[in-house]
Amino acid sequence: MSGVRVAVIGLGAMGLPMAAHLAGEFPVTAFDVDAERRADAVSRGAAEATTPAGAAADADVVLLAVRDQQQVEAALFGPDGVASSLRPGAVVVLTSTVGPQAARDTAARLPDHRLVDAPVSGGPTRAGCGDLLVVVGADAEALAVAGPVLDRLASTCTVVGPNPGDGQALKAINQLLAGVHIAAAAEAVALARGIGLDPAAVVAALGKGAASSFVLSDRGPRMVEAYADGAEVRSRLDIFVKDMGIVSELARESRVPTPLASAAHQLYLLGEQAGLGAADDSAVVTVLSPKGR
């Protein structure tokens, strides 16, 4: 085992498999507000802490894998937060997608420690086998500490720039494209169905030409399933409510019109209003053309 001691805060769809995979190489102490998730982490090789401060107390690298900026703030600066127990020289790795400004603000509130801005993508399965894509904003000193942990998690690690927020900026552009592509695939499947084509055949036929995308190949078949039994939840719809909100805010601040990203954001909001927030994001297709119609 390596000497780097790791704390993982947040044991959800991404945090739990990351904690388990990290525990194969490092001593890991894990925290989640949910005791059942903590027990899952223990069964997969981690030690348990009952507060963020407890998890971070001995750690060289504290990895945050929570849902949004509100949870980041609670984990770091709330009661028994990480900030209250962080050792000198320890670094905080932020894997959540929160937007550039939130990453910069968080770094500013940790003046005595370095923040590695490192939003991840790839989903739970890839999180469990070190096959994530990570886009990083961090300086060389922070990377010297956090590097072994990022290497364990990522198959592709792109350092965008030296500052917190740089990784979030690239991740936001990634989410703009992925979020629009999912909504476009939904429109394609719904319209194919509406004009009497077989959606599964359409997805297969268009998978290699000018219309092809990772999303069409990945979500297209799940959208077809959404009309049958519903697709297994691999990535929650409300993640894109949050992430397209980050995109919209960036676009507004930089005065760049993004009408498609805005329309996609509205579709995810409609999906959430329809009770699909915790469903697989492919369920957004049923907003456009409901099941049974």
Residues lying near its own copies in the complex (CB under 8 A) are found at: 100, 121-122, 133, 135, 156, 158, 160, 169-170, 172-178, 180-181, 183-185, 187-188, 190-197, 202, 205-206, 208-216, 218, 247, 250-251, 254-264, 266-267, 288-289
- Kind plus residue range of the DSSP H or E element containing 62: strand 61-64
For the CB of residue 75, give the shortest distance to its own copies in the complex, in Å.
26
CB of 185 to its own copies, least distance (A): 7
Catalytic residues: 171
Handedness of CA 281, 240, 118, 89 (dihedral sign): negative
Rounded to whole angstroms, the Cα distance separating 80 from 187 reads: 46
In this complex, which beta carbon is closest to its own copies, that of residue 113 or of residue 126? Answer: 126
CB of 19 to its own copies, least distance (A): 22
Q: Which is nearer to its own copies, 228 or 256 (CB)?
A: 256
Q: Of 10 and 179, which CB lies nearer to its own copies in the complex structure?
A: 179
What minimum distance in Å lies between the beta carbon of 225 and its own copies?
A: 19
CB 99 within 8 Å of CB 69: yes
Question: What is the phi/psi pair of residue 68, to 5°?
Answer: -150, 180
Cβ closest to its own copies, residue 61 vs residue 202: 202
Print burial letters for 106-142: b (CB count within 10 Å at least 16), e (below 16).
bbeebeebbbbbbbbbbbbebbbebebbbbbbbeeeb
**Residue 9 or 188 with smaller CB distance to its own copies:** 188
The total of other beta-carbon atoms located within 10 Å of residue 40's CB is 17
Minimum separation from the CB atom of position 190 to its own copies (A): 5
User: Residue 269: which residues within 8 A CB-CB, separation 6 or more?
Assistant: 241
What residues contact 66, with CB distance under 8 A and at least 6 apart?
Answer: 9, 10, 12, 15, 72, 75, 96
DSSP state, 206? T
Helices 166-194, 100-108: axis angle to 10 degrees equals: 150
